[in-house]
Amino acid sequence: MKIILIRHGQTPSNRERRFLGLTDEPLTEESREELASRSYPSAEHLFSSPLLRCRQTAEIIYPGQSVSLVEDLREMDFGLFEGRTNEEMCEEPFYREWLAAGRADFPGGETMEHFRSRCLRAFRETVSQLSANSSAAFVVHGGVIMALMSNLGQGEFYDFLCGNGAGYVCDWRGGRLTLEEKLWQD
């Protein structure tokens, strides 16, 4: 099965390099124009995180195509980090502790273990309903893509960091994602 993983377009918080998890923010006008100017692989099935930035991206990339929302493919809850930049938190004790701990779980937010588990379960449940010969696009968040690729493919979590509107085309077979092509990456 062909799987296309696409990170949503840029939001104002992305542009300002803020932690953006569960805050429901729209795309910037510039991002909407950029997404509309690009070409993405076609897909028989279209899935999206329920957050606005993903739904808007899916509508732009796949106009007129029916999109199914998958609740558990939403971004991580960043807790105390939500809406803030690294610079804004640099003097905060919780931020220093987080850095000293090797960037572990987010204080007041979701644990990495829970986040990965949630994303993997939602993805597996979704693709289990599809034909092995079909294709599916998932318009989701950067963290979701990193969780899926690092757990179902090969590599570490941050190996799969991708920009807004970028992503991966993969083959899904035997419970593994095999990277075939990078989309819109520098």
In residues, how long is the chain? Answer: 186
CATH code of 148's domain: 3.40.50.1240
The structural domain count of the chain equals 1
Q: Could you report the per-residue pLDDT of 77-133, keeping only the tens digit for each?
A: 999 999 999 999 999 999 999 999 887 789 999 999 999 999 999 999 999 999 999
The mean predicted confidence, pLDDT, of the chain is 96
pTM: 0.96
What single-letter amino acid sits at 142? G
Q: SS3 string of the chain?
A: CEEEEEECCCCHHHHCCCCCCCCCCCCCHHHHHHHHHCCCCCCCEEEECCCHHHHHHHHHHCCCCCCEECHHHCCCCCHHHCCCCHHHHCCCHHHHHHHHCCCCCCCCCCCHHHHHHHHHHHHHHHHCCCCCCCEEEEEECHHHHHHHHHHHCCCCHHHHCCCCCCEEEEEEECCEEEEEEEECCC
Q: What is the pLDDT of residue 104?
A: 76
| Mean local confidence (pLDDT), 154-169 | 95
What is the domain range of residue 79?
2-183
Q: What is the pLDDT of residue 179?
A: 96
40 or 186: whose pLDDT is higher?
A: 40
